[in-house]
Amino acid sequence: MKIFFSNIPKKIEFFARNLKGISAYFILSDSVNIKRIESFLSNIKGLRCIDKNAFLKNYTFKADYIEFIARLNQAQEAFDWNALNLSTKSRLSFDFYYRLFYASIIKGVIDTGGYDNLIVVSDDYALAQQVKMFSRQSGHSFNLALRVSGKRYISMLCFFLPVSVFFVFLRTLFYAFAAKIMLSPRVKREHNGYLIKTLLSHYSFDTNGDFKDIYFHRLVNYFKKKQINFIIDATIFKPYLRNIIKVKRERKNFIIIPREAYLSYLDIIKCFLVSLRRFFGKFDIKSGLLIGNVDLSSLVASEIQKECASKDFFLNLLEYYSMKSFIKNVKFNKVIYPFEHRSWESMLIFAIREARFPSSVIGYQHTSIAPKHTNFILGKNEWKNAILPDRIISMGKITKGIMENYGSFPPEILEAGPALRQEIVAEGVCQKDVSGMRNILVAMTTDTDEYRKMMGFIKEAFSADNYFKVRIRPHPLAYLEGAPKEYNFSSVNFEFDYDKNLVNSLSWADIVFYCSSTVSIEAIQRGIPIVYVDFGEDLCPDPLFELSDFKWRVSKPEKVLDALTRIKQMPIERFNLAKNKARSYACEYIYPSTEDNLAVF
């Protein structure tokens, strides 16, 4: 078999025109150039397209991936392994997930031996090296021709040299200097209260400049009302100095200590040296590199190298040294942090337990969970070695059940608590006339890929119908610069909704379109029907994947108007019955922040 791996149109066209024997091709990218290549290849007689989506339907790769990462974790004893994002199956490692998936498919095609030629159309260099390894193992010829963009050259430079590690090291030294000068800690050693670990950005302050924590502001208000001692350990994001100044203004109301305030310069240097050691020395991986009988060692080595060369590994590791320094200076009874089973959380918990510090660790699960969130799924028996908090308090009954039933989390550490971030609607349920529905709110997330897909979908769905009014609501933490330039929206009756108050947006809406946004949950709680836009992804992003009532699913733009017609023509009795079932589900998803519910902390 001849295997040709490329993203260059002319090279692929030349190779394809000179094929002899049975041939096939894979398309594993969505770039503009590759769409041109796909158009060319599809017109060559006798050249078969191997559809990756067909494998998605017939191959439950996610379960294999979960167990694969679990085996890697169980085979590692080095504490800093847990600073890798791949160790927690983080969303930051989704590219790694798809590389493993595509490599498994290609290996299956090679082993089947049904083709004389195989063209793999992709711009992924790491995947190319894995396919090259497969070719050598099977005795097949392999040709590689990749065009590398300017951005890719820079990323490759950072891959082979620790440029990002040096940068984040110097930046951390500066941040530590600024934190010690501007916000020197004033906390008694015997604090004996709660430590709230949070992430602080410019979104953590309201329009008046008052501190309003994006995760825990309701809990903070509860603690103040009950006169419960607490301090806040904050990882402060950019713009760092501007946020430090805002924190300083709030010192009369809150004790907020930046992560770097207690860090010694020696600790920062230690963190830097460990990062360099892993960049040059690698991890010793002796087992766990197979999915089935497929050896994926090349991709694993590449992913680890990429992570160790990035700022993420250093910053995750920094949480370990930061918490060790904190423990030396302040005594506290409980730690509460936003739980997503991320690598920095593992390092924080590891530091507390390594020091045998007498403190209870509470992870607060604060957002919706979809099948896409593999970080909330443990492998069989992985919980025995996983670094988990003593308790996980969820935002409601539904997410607790998902972690227990799908995620294999130990039920004894799970407990349903209140939703501290989401708006709870007690009254004012939407009672609009079904037949008069016209206003469509499209809820976006921070995922830019989803944003572009959704904008293209909406443009195609509504370009032939100006009856409906469409509002695009970006995620409040993501700034989107209008519609993508490649889409002409002149034929669509739409506008952007930048209202910070979600209640206003939902009061306007008759129907909510979404892919992964939690706005969908708040919509059904208000009695607003929702439409899930399904892009056919292997990792389903729908936070309401268990719900069938009051939810319509569309996967093609041309089916949207049919779905809206079905909603408008639905008998009012059936409509209200479905609405009430969905509202009950939403109320179990989002528990209100009453004093009784807050007392669980």
Q: Per-residue pLDDT for 525 more than 70? A: yes
Cα separation values, 376 from 21, 365, 419, Å: 46, 10, 18
Q: Which residue has the tokens 């469509």?
A: 440
Least confident of 133-142, 315-324, 441-450: 441-450
pLDDT score of 44 more than 90: no
pLDDT of residue 252: 84
Strand stretches in 453-527, DSSP E = 469-473, 494-496, 511-514
pLDDT at position 389 is 97
| Res 497: pLDDT | 85
299 contacts 94 by C-beta, under 8 angstroms: no
Q: Is the pLDDT of residue 491 over 60?
A: no
384-409: average pLDDT: 96
- In tens, the pLDDT along 27-37 reads 887 666 677 78
CB 549 within 8 A of CB 574: no
What's phi and psi for 80, nearest 5 deg?
-80, -5
pLDDT tens digits, one per residue of 202-240: 889 988 888 999 999 999 999 999 999 999 999 999 899
Strands (E), 419-476: 439-443, 469-473
Mean pLDDT of 424-452: 76
Full-model pTM? 0.90
Say whether pLDDT at 503 is over 90: no
Confidence of residue 296 (pLDDT cuts 50, 70, 90): very high
Whose structure tokens read 């990882």?
Answer: 235
Instruction: Quickly state the pLDDT bin for 187 (edges 50, 70, 90).
Output: low
- Model pLDDT, residue 298: 94
Q: Is the model's pLDDT at 345 over the cut of 60?
A: yes
- With contact defined as beta carbons under 8 Å apart, do 436 and 446 qualify? no
Digit-coded pLDDT (tens) for 535-583: 988 889 999 999 999 999 999 999 999 999 999 889 999 999 999 999 9
Q: What is the pLDDT of residue 477?
A: 64
Q: Place 489 in a pLDDT band, splitting at 50, 70 and 90.
A: low
d(CA 559, CA 319): 48
Is it true that the peptide bond before 239 is cis, omega within 30 degrees of 0?
Answer: yes
The answer to whether residues 446 and 434 touch, using CB atoms and an 8 Å cutoff, is no
DSSP code per residue over 312-338: HHHHHHHHHHHHHHHHHH-B-SEEEEE
End-to-end CA distance of the chain: 61
Residue-level pLDDT at 424? 66
pLDDT band at 186 (very low <50, low <70, confident <90, very high): low
At a CB cut-off of 8 Å and minimum separation 6, what does 593 contact? 218, 219, 222, 418, 419, 420, 424
Q: Which domains does the chain have, with CATH numbers?
A: 2-62+91-149 (3.40.1010), 333-421 (no CATH), 434-589 (3.40.50.2000)
CA-CA distances (angstroms) from residue 411 to 342, 359, 402? 20, 21, 11
User: Mean pLDDT in the chain?
Assistant: 88
